[in-house]
Amino acid sequence: MKRLLLIALWLVAGAVHAQSSWYPPTPQSQNYPSYVLQATTKIDALVLAASSAETMTVPTGSAFVRFGANCPVIYVRRNATAAVPGSDVTDGSASEINPAAWALDDVTTISVIAPTTCNVSFSWYKR
């Protein structure tokens, strides 16, 4: 019985240790898991017509952006006009398909296009 109790305590202690090391705090807060975003203070949106690129200017002081869209595919490009590729693009100038988020170092504008009508949101974050 003692052996069974010791094994149970050992398993519980291991689980507690695994949880505490699985969720490290962020450097900024020391209170939140590292994968939890702080609440954004600014969200912008574009309503895109099918196959028509639009450009968003990066707000001053923004360090990261998280993208959201209600269509299956968007193409995004920094500091240039986004395009839906119609053939191979092998010179590094293609638009990125469905990015989740970007760091905004040296990014002043973000262009977005979709093959279909689409709403795209931009959630801006500071460092």
- For the chain, the structural domain boundaries read 1-35, 42-125
The CA distance from 22 to 51, in Å, is 43
Residue range 42-125 forms a domain whose CATH class is mainly beta
Residue 83: phi, psi to the nearest 5?
Answer: -145, 145
DSSP 8-state secondary structure symbol assigned to residue 67: E
Per-residue pLDDT of the chain (127 residues; tens, 9 = 90+): 666 555 655 555 554 444 444 444 445 555 555 667 778 889 999 999 999 999 999 999 999 999 999 999 999 999 999 999 999 999 999 999 999 999 999 999 999 999 999 999 999 998 7
The CA distance from 121 to 107, in Å, is 17
pTM, two decimals, is 0.72
